[in-house]
């Protein structure tokens, strides 16, 4: 019988905070499904149609994809993965990026009656994020694009974080510790919320 209330883990944090790394560890240990907005967008940008070509240009410039497109991709992905998510749970990496996305994600999760939601903030300083990003050598990690993403985080992502904090659902984790310590803290926080 599928899990009627699978665990949904939303990982938030600045670019370079280790969301993808921590998601991978959670997936490996607990067999959770995984949605990464960044990976979904990069895959969509490879499609040879109008949206794919435009999205590729946006991503190559280091700009942000529009929220409507992210949410469209998201809705399709979650709908197609629904049974697997019901069985194991889900890790969400890279969304929400704005307050409106947080509200839409809340609505989507409520639609599927997934109520066991943990919102984890991997908290790192802006300087730590910049240092990490300049060392990872991804095509969208040019210094100017990094600065823009960090400014976007302050302006747009922080209100989404505040949204979850006001709901009492935000779990803050010091993301500047070594990877294994961060993971230990995440597991401890998730288990203490049960």
- The rounded distance, in Å, linking the Cα atoms of 168 and 65 is 29
Q: Identify whether the C-beta of residue 23 lies closer than 8 Å to the C-beta of residue 34.
A: yes
pLDDT per position as a tens digit, 56-70? 999 888 788 888 898
Q: Identify whether the C-beta of residue 35 lies closer than 8 Å to the C-beta of residue 105.
A: no
Considering the chain, what is the average pLDDT of its residues? 88
- The rounded distance, in Å, linking the Cα atoms of 66 and 71 is 9
pLDDT per position as a tens digit, 82-101? 877 877 889 999 889 899 99
What's the average model confidence in pLDDT over 138-156? 81
Please check whether residue 155 lies inside any domain of the structure.
yes
- Spacing of C-alpha 116 from chain mean position: 17
For the ranges 36-40, 142-146, 176-180, 187-191, which has the lowest average pLDDT? 142-146
Please check whether residue 2 lies inside any domain of the structure.
no
Please check whether residue 61 lies inside any domain of the structure.
yes
Please check whether residue 50 lies inside any domain of the structure.
yes
Please check whether residue 52 lies inside any domain of the structure.
yes
- The rounded distance, in Å, linking the Cα atoms of 19 and 11 is 6
CATH number of the domain to which 60 belongs: 3.40.50.300
Q: Is 93 helix (H, G, I), strand (E, B) or coil?
A: strand
> Which domain range does residue 161 map to?
7-192
What's the structural domain count of the chain? 1
Confidence of residue 1 (pLDDT cuts 50, 70, 90): very low
What's the average model confidence in pLDDT over 25-39? 90
The DSSP symbol for 153 reads I
Please check whether residue 145 lies inside any domain of the structure.
yes
148 is written with which tokens? 């823009």
For the ranges 62-66, 76-80, 130-134, which has the lowest average pLDDT? 62-66
pTM of the predicted model, to two decimals?
Answer: 0.85
Please check whether residue 1 lies inside any domain of the structure.
no
Confidence of residue 180 (pLDDT cuts 50, 70, 90): very high
Residue 140: the pLDDT is: 63
Please check whether residue 171 lies inside any domain of the structure.
yes
């Amino acid at each position: 019988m599928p899990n009627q209330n699978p665990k949904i883990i939303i990982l938030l944090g600045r670019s370079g905070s280790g969301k993808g790394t921590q998601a991978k560890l959670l997936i490996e240990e607990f067999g959770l499904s995984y949605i990464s907005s960044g990976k979904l967008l990069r895959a969509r940008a490879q499609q040879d149609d109008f949206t794919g070509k435009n999205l590729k240009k946006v991503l190559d410039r280091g700009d942000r994809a529009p929220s409507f497109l992210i949410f469209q991709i998201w809705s399709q992905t979650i709908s197609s993965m629904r049974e697997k998510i019901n069985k194991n749970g889900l890790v969400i990496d890279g969304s929400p990026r704005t307050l409106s996305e947080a509200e839409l994600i809340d609505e989507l999760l409520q639609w599927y009656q997934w109520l066991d939601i943990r919102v984890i903030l991997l908290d790192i300083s802006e300087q730590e994020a910049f240092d990490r990003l300049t060392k990872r050598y991804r095509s969208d990690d040019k210094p100017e694009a990094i600065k823009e993403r960090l400014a976007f985080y302050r302006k747009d992502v922080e209100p989404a974080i505040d949204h979850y904090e006001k709901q009492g659902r935000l779990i803050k984790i010091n993301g500047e510790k070594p990877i294994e310590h961060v993971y230990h803290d995440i597991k401890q926080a998730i288990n203490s919320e049960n």
